[in-house]
Amino acid sequence: MSDAGKVNKGASRTPLTFGYEEITRLLPHRSPMLLVDRVEDHEVGEWITAFKSISNQEPVFQGHFPGHPIFPGVYMIEGLAQSSALLTFKTYESRGTRFKNETLLTGVEEVRFRRMVIPGDVLYYRVQLKRERGPFAWFEGQAEVNGEVAAEAKFSARVSVG
């Protein structure tokens, strides 16, 4: 992926953070499928950095895998998608565009899983908005732990506008 892993390094401005209250205002997801704990920073219309702290109490670990918990790769991709929805909704709000809090993935490509994510890890989502056309948007994203890429993908989504 191009610059998503480099966002906000060395920036002198104040990070634009927000947490659970704002995330749940924007996203329809709730536990156990809300996969973003906090937004660390974002630039409207450009990129977002968010994270999820992986707890040993995650419900998915009951079956994936008992005695050897591994955070599922599809959950990492979903976390990237939720982060991209947050970026999109913040972008639409800044433009005064009316939208419904619904974003549906329309494509996922070039997915790569590079490392396991386990309890105790903090999973950072770094997503860039690459282009938009009407209600469609295209993104590139990486999920990282300690600066090491755990998963990466290119994906597209449709936002419900109006």
Q: State residue 8's pLDDT score.
A: 45
Q: How far apart are CA 134 and CA 121, in angstroms?
A: 37
> Is the pTM here over 0.85, yes or no?
yes
Q: State residue 13's pLDDT score.
A: 65
Looking at the domain assignment, is residue 6 inside a domain?
A: no
Looking at the domain assignment, is residue 151 inside a domain?
A: yes
Note down the domain range covering 75.
15-161
Q: What is the CATH number of the domain that holds 113?
A: 3.10.129.10
**Residue 42 annotated to the active site:** no
Looking at the domain assignment, is residue 91 inside a domain?
A: yes
Looking at the domain assignment, is residue 5 inside a domain?
A: no
Catalytic residue among 29, 42, 64, 68: 64
Contact 67, 74 (CB under 8 A): no
Q: CA of 33: how far to CAs of 24, 42, 79, 147, in Å?
A: 12, 22, 9, 24
Q: State residue 116's pLDDT score.
A: 98
Looking at the domain assignment, is residue 10 inside a domain?
A: no
Count CB-CB contacts under 10 A for residue 130. 15
Looking at the domain assignment, is residue 130 inside a domain?
A: yes
Q: How far apart are CA 123 and CA 135, in angstroms?
A: 28
Residuewise pLDDT in 10s, the chain (162 residues): 544 444 444 445 677 899 999 999 999 999 999 999 999 999 999 999 999 999 999 999 999 999 999 999 999 999 999 999 999 999 999 999 988 888 999 999 999 999 999 999 999 999 999 999 999 999 999 999 999 999 999 999 999 887
Number of structural domains found in the chain = 1
Q: State residue 153's pLDDT score.
A: 98
Looking at the domain assignment, is residue 3 inside a domain?
A: no
Contact 117, 70 (CB under 8 A): yes
Looking at the domain assignment, is residue 8 inside a domain?
A: no
